[in-house]
Amino acid sequence: MTTFYNRIAGGDVGRIAALSDGVFAFAATVLVLDFHPPDPADVHSESQLLAALSSSAPRLLPWLLTLLTLGIFWLGQQTQLSRLERSNRELAWLHFVFLAVVTVLPFSTRLLADFLTYRTAFVVYWANILLLGVALYATWRYAERTSLIREDAQGEASRAVKRRIVAGQSLYAIGALVGLLNVPLGVALIILVQLNYAFAPRWTNRI
């Protein structure tokens, strides 16, 4: 009975995609909740309002960083799901683990925003990105090994999926090394890497 259940469980790729959309949307929404408008009791002029708003400016960098992170990894997962012939119980759980790592992003983002010059906060955030990449790679590698991907997604297409994840994580690692010397500079470098992947200029089509 258990063996039969395992064969039929988790086979609906559409349900995985729907859950993914919900988790990513929730994570993006939670990010905005970290911004708080100035208290009206403390603002009595335009200059005071501008000063209060400028005090929140440093939080924009981690917000942008995570917004790009969410977009890149959502697109990466959706690309994988769209190339699946079918799913199974194990693959569904692997994607669930990936989404679990996504839910940690608001926490690591707030930690980085609160301690933007601290290496520990930066390393925690980078570890979050690393785990996202490892989980996403694992889902595709498992789908490939168990012949769950469509025929037209095999061969070069499959290698391109894995190559893109590895290349991205390698660039993030370079940003992490820079961040150990200068955290804001490391954050800025990772944002540049993400902007590169988000806008996908022609030369990046090779990776």
pLDDT digits over 108-159, tens only?
A: 999 999 898 999 999 999 999 999 999 999 999 999 999 888 888 788 888 8
pLDDT for 142 equals 94
pLDDT digits over 30-75, tens only?
A: 988 876 666 676 776 777 777 666 666 677 888 889 999 999 999 9
H/E stretch holding 180? helix 156-181
Q: How confident is the model at residue 5 (pLDDT cuts 50, 70, 90)?
A: low
pLDDT for 203 equals 46
Nearest to 87 by CA among 95, 99, 75, 79: 95
- Average pLDDT of the chain? 86
This prediction has a pTM of 0.85
Work out the average pLDDT over 88-113.
Answer: 94
Q: How many CB atoms lie within 10 A of CB 108?
A: 23
Length of the chain, please?
Answer: 207
pLDDT for 152 equals 81
In three-state secondary structure terms, 155 is coil
pLDDT digits over 174-194, tens only?
A: 999 999 999 989 999 999 999
